[in-house]
Every structure is written in C-alpha cells, then in structure tokens.
Amino acid sequence: MTSIVVQFLNGLAGASTLFLIAVGLSLIFGVTRIVNFAHGSLYMLGIYIAYSAVGAFGAAGALGFWGAILAAAFAVGLFGALVEVLILRRIYQAPELFQLLATFALVLMVKDFVLWAWGPEDLLGPRAPGLDGAVTILGQRFPEYDLFMIAVGPVVLGLLWLLLNRTRWGTLVRAATQDREMVGALGVNQKWLFTGVFALGACLAGLGGALQVPREPAQLFLDLTAIADAFVIVVVGGMGSIPGAFLAALIIGEVKAFCIGLGNVTLLGVEVSFSKLTLVIEFIVMAIVLVVRPWGLLGRPQAAQRAAPTHIEPPLRAAPRGLAAGAAVLALVLAALPLTGAAYTVVLMTDILIFALFAASLHFIMGPAGMVSFGHAAYFGLGAYGAGLLLLRAGAPMEVALAAGPLAAALGAAVFGWFCVRLAGVYFAMLTLAFAQIGWSVVFQWDSFTGGSNGLVGVWPAAWLASKSAFYLFALVLCGAGLAALRRILFSPFGYALRAGRDSPLRCDAIGIDIKRLQWAAFTLVGAFAGIAGALYAFSKGSVSPDVMAIPRSVDALVMVLLGGVQTLAGPAVGAAALTWLQDTIARNTEYWQSLLGATILVIVLAFPQGIVGSLSRLGGRTEAE
C-alpha cells in the first residue's frame, strides 16, 4: 500500500516534467502548425544554460538559484523568438511540413553548439537550496524537490489558462488556433502573434529543462529523449489542447511509475518484465489512445485550413519525351560507374540508390496520397530483418531471403496501416511512429530471435553478388525498377484516385471511391517498396541492427523527401542523394560536421522553399511560360 502511494507520487513528479516538456510544443503547433523538431533542443538548451547560470549565481543562495532558473527559461524564449523571426517566418508559405526541415537543421546545430560550449561530460547540477532533502511519507523518504515538481505542473497549467482566457493576447492565440486566416482577415498582426507564441513555447521548454537541473544531469541526448516524449504527450492529449497535454502527461507518468513498481510479474506461468516495458510504454499508450480516439484525449478534429495559393499542388503531368530520354541516359551513366574503378564511389552510390527507393516509397504516400508517415523506417527495418532472419535462421538462399524482405514489410504495413488510415494529419503520422517504435522495441529486445540490441551479423549476399560492383549493379536494377514502378503506379487509375482522395475527400466519397481502402492499399504497397530497400541495405552491410527501424532513420527519410521537394516525383531521389552525399563528405572532412550539415540544410531550406527539385522546376516552368 505504502509503495503504491509513493509510486503514485513518483508518477506525478514525472508527469509534471513531461507536461512542461510538451506544453510549449502543443501551443506552437496549435497556432503556427509548425511541427517543431527542435523543441527537444530548446529543452536541452534550458538545462545547460540553467546549469551554467546556477553555477554563476547559485552562490547567492535561494534567490540566485531561482533567478538563474528563470533567467535560463527567459534566454531560451529569446532564442526561440530569434529563430522564428530569422528563419521560420521566411518559410510559412512553403508546403506543409517544410518547416520541419528547418527545425531538423536546428537540432543538428544546437547539438554541436552544446558540445562545443559545454563539453562532452555529463553535468550534474547542485540540489535546489531549501529543497535539498527528503520528507518522510508513510515511512518512505521522498525528495522535497519532487514534491515541488508535483506542484509546478498544475501551477503552470493554471497560469497558462489565465493567460489564454483572461488576456487579449490569449484570446487572439485561441482564435488563431481555431482559424488563423480569419484572425488575419480581422486585421490582427499575425507576424507578432506567431513570434510571441513561438517565444512562449520555447520559454516553457527552457523552463522545463532548467527545472531539471536539480534532478538529472545535463547531457547531449536530452534533445532526442525530450522530443519523442513531447510529441507523444501532445498527441495523446490532442494537438493544441493544453489541458489535454496535462492529462496525457499524468497518464503516461503514472503508467511508467507503475510499470517500474510492478517489476517482474508471473502471469499465467510466464514471467513478464514490466520494467523492460518502460522502453516503449508511452508509444503503446499512444497507439491505444489514437486507435480509440483519433484526435487524442481532449483534441478536436483539425479545422480545415484554407489553402494558401502555394499550397495547391499543380497536377502531375506525364514526363515529356525529353525527360524519359534523360532518365535513360542517367541509368546508363550510372551503370557505367563501376568501370571507372572508383571503388568507394560505388559503395556510396549503393547507399544512395537504396535511400532513393526508400525516400520515394515514403514520398508516394506523403505527396500524392497526402499521408505523412513519421514511422516509415518500420518497413525498411522489417525488410532488412525479414531478409536477414530468413537467411540466418532458416538457412534460405540469399535470393529467397531477399524476396522475403518486402513480403515481411508489406505484411507489417498491412497490419499497422489498417489502424493508421483511420486517422488524418499529424495523428496519422504519430500513429505510424507509435507502431514503428513498438516494432523497434520488439526487435531490440527479442534476443534469441532478432539478436536484440546487437542485431544480426553475417547477412552477406550470394557469391555472384559478393563484389561491390556486382551488388551495385544489382541494386541499380532493383531500385531503378522500383522507382519506375512507383512512378508508373501514380499515373494509373489507382494513382489518380489516391490524389483525388487527398485533394477532395468529399467528392471522392460522392463518386463512390472508398478512400480508406485505397489508402490502406497504398500504405501496404509502399511498405513493400521500403522493404526492398531495407533488404538490399541489409545485404550491402552484412549486418542488421535495430538502428534500421529507429526514429532517426524515419526522420532521415522525411528529410530526404522534403529536401528534394514533396511536390515533385524526382524530388525524393535527389533529396536522398543530396543528404547522403552531404553527410558523407562533411562528416569525413570536418570535426563539427553536424552543425555544418545543419547549416547547409538551412541554406537549402531558405534558398529552395519548395525543395531542391521543386524550386528548380518552378524556376524552369516560369522561364518556359515567359
């Protein structure tokens, strides 16, 4: 009984932490519709700045300490305002989600900046003055600071409620959350509203980080941990709903605490480790919530945005004859590559081809079908594991194992997709992410079958593909065929129907197109293509580890598609080549390669707000018209 009460309190303290991480993200998304990947980085900046500030002013007693915490939050808010004014404001007119690229670049740059400024060592701050001990609750010692944290969550929630409901600024923010075009039409200066909201959101993230100084060390992985948690909380609660975020944080905080409290339990003769379940529990909760409530606990269906003129996609046109000839020449040039004897170029190009197919498979549902997936790596990974497992565990020949990859991936996509297509927008994206994480946690923990965290080794191709050139040509044929097939399908009736479903669901319904079924079929189909890429990847590396289906791989695919241009068909391939090549070149030649890669992406984002191919072809189109 005692331990249940204490674990409940632990859950509450955890919930406050989660709420502070997430609430700013929810606020920012509600108003600006920006999916801010850098929110975790803001949180991380908060804890690092607070660590230094506490070091500088902490000697001045409690006042210095709490002053330092608030100063850190304020500094992060200021940084957020700068980011909004200097970067994001320039790209609000870009296609949906393009801002995500800019925030991804920021993640890379902030990470390197923190490493440069604070060094690689974990930094554990001092305990909070006045709250540095423990009180006894039912005979158990409980840290005073954790009690304080329990109070902070509701206090921040209350203050935000007052701000949003009792001030003019708050009224405008709520209005913008519901219909930002109308707010603009009524003469409200949206620019400053957006800047203000972004700064407030950043400030809250910074506060969340700063308040962790007495609890956990500042370290370089907080950005990724925090961003995943933040997204889960925001989506479970309902995007843009602040009470929802609080409720979600409460549920997840408590579920985690009780999983840990339960530890190992024997159920029906099988030992279940609830402690190990904490690896993925928040994603399981998210999947359940989204399946039952498609807009989160307290969310409402997203208000339809009136599309800005740039948001309306030009219809796809069949490639002109010249382009087809160009593609043929390109294929021949690529086929001749091994003749140059540049062995490493062949290896790098193999990676690029594989990622081009992977990115194109994501683009197929993201662009023409309008379904953004945050968990596309699941099918890449299922392809890799499907092939690797059949080869190693069943002793199948490589050719058979290779075919098993896309089958496994398609099967996975069919199961997950059945749930996902019921959702729309960011909720769809987050459900795909939840399933990807659940899949990842299974391969990560199933040691006897998937090799657990070490993965599989010895996944080498058959003798006739052992040479890198042979494998490259093989990948060229498969990926080339895959790309061509994806393109061909888009110009089939199926492809037209998908695009119709994206552009006008209502009219589709009226003429008898079952959109959900089409989307499910598309999701399964691209799963298979991602699976081909994954299986090829496994054989090109000789090993598979859980990385192949982890979040960074999904993010890479998103970045590739957006970098190339989501409204073009060649975009994903160009984006894949650009990102892979950039990363390879920069990482080999510079020490702070992450920040340089981030800066390069940022430049591309600002220079090509439609993606590389999108912007170039727009430029080309204009000259033609003139």
Partner 1 sequence: MGTRRAFFAAAACVLAAGFAAPAAAQGTIKIGEVNSYKRFPAFLEPYKKGWELGLEEVNAAGGVLGRKLELVSRDDGGNQGDAVRLAEELLSREGVSFLTGTFASNIGLAVSDFAKQKKVLFIAAEPLTDKIVWDNGNRYTFRLRPSTYMQTAMLIPDAAKLKKKRWAIVYPNYEYGQSATAAFKKLLTAQQPNVEFVTEQAPPLGKIDAGAVVQAIADSKPDAIFSSLFGPDLANFVRQGNLRGLFKDRPVFNLLAGEPEYLDPLKQETPNGWYVTGYPWYGIATPEHKKFLDAYKNRHNDYPRLGSVVGYTLVKTVAAAIRKAGSLDTEKLIAAMKGLEVDSPFGKMTYRALDHQSTMGAYVGQIGLRDGKGVMTSFRYEPGEKHLPPDAEVRKMRPAD
**Residue 609 Cβ, how far from partner 1 at the closest point, in Å?**
25
Check: CB of residue 489 under 8 Å from CB of residue 363.
no
Closer residue to partner 1, CB minimum distance, 188 or 220: 220
**Residue 447 Cβ, how far from partner 1 at the closest point, in Å?**
7
**What DSSP designation does 301 have?**
P
**Residue 348 Cβ, how far from partner 1 at the closest point, in Å?**
7
Check: CB of residue 299 under 8 Å from CB of residue 240.
yes
Closer residue to partner 1, CB minimum distance, 174 or 215: 215
Closer residue to partner 1, CB minimum distance, 10 or 567: 10
**Residue 278 Cβ, how far from partner 1 at the closest point, in Å?**
6
Closer residue to partner 1, CB minimum distance, 302 or 445: 445
Q: Closest Cα partner for 208 from 165, 259, 249, 169?
A: 249
> What does the CA dihedral 169, 174, 175, 177 come to, rounded to 10 degrees?
130
**Residue 39, CA distances (Å) to 22, 212, 293 in order:** 9, 16, 25
Ramachandran angles phi, psi of 263, nearest 5°:
60, -135
- The neighbour count for residue 276, using CB atoms within 10 Å, is 15
**Residue 498 Cβ, how far from partner 1 at the closest point, in Å?**
31
Distance CA 298, CA 626 (A): 51
Secondary-structure percent of the chain, ordered helix, strand, coil, rounded to 5: 75, 5, 20
Check: CB of residue 44 under 8 Å from CB of residue 226.
yes
Distance CA 206, CA 16 (A): 14
**Residue 336 Cβ, how far from partner 1 at the closest point, in Å?**
4
**Residue 84 Cβ, how far from partner 1 at the closest point, in Å?**
27
Closer residue to partner 1, CB minimum distance, 219 or 361: 219
- The neighbour count for residue 272, using CB atoms within 10 Å, is 14
Check: CB of residue 402 under 8 Å from CB of residue 391.
no
Closer residue to partner 1, CB minimum distance, 491 or 581: 581
Check: CB of residue 31 under 8 Å from CB of residue 188.
no
Closer residue to partner 1, CB minimum distance, 514 or 591: 591
**Residue 150 Cβ, how far from partner 1 at the closest point, in Å?**
11
Closer residue to partner 1, CB minimum distance, 528 or 586: 586
Closer residue to partner 1, CB minimum distance, 133 or 314: 133
Closer residue to partner 1, CB minimum distance, 248 or 525: 248
Check: CB of residue 563 under 8 Å from CB of residue 607.
no
Distance CA 333, CA 150 (A): 63
Distance CA 155, CA 153 (A): 5
What's the CA angle centered on 554, arms 550 and 557, to 5 degrees?
A: 145
Tokens of 130: 């006045």
Helix (H) or strand (E) holding 68, with range, is: helix 61-86
**What DSSP designation does 297 have?**
S
> CB-based burial of residue 18 (10 Å sphere; 0-12 exposed, 13-18 middle, 19+ buried)?
buried
**What DSSP designation does 504 have?**
-
**Residue 225 Cβ, how far from partner 1 at the closest point, in Å?**
6
**Residue 305 Cβ, how far from partner 1 at the closest point, in Å?**
35
**Residue 328 Cβ, how far from partner 1 at the closest point, in Å?**
12
Tokens of 76: 């992060």
**Residue 549 Cβ, how far from partner 1 at the closest point, in Å?**
12
Please name the amino acid found at residue 461: P
Closer residue to partner 1, CB minimum distance, 46 or 80: 46
Closer residue to partner 1, CB minimum distance, 277 or 521: 277
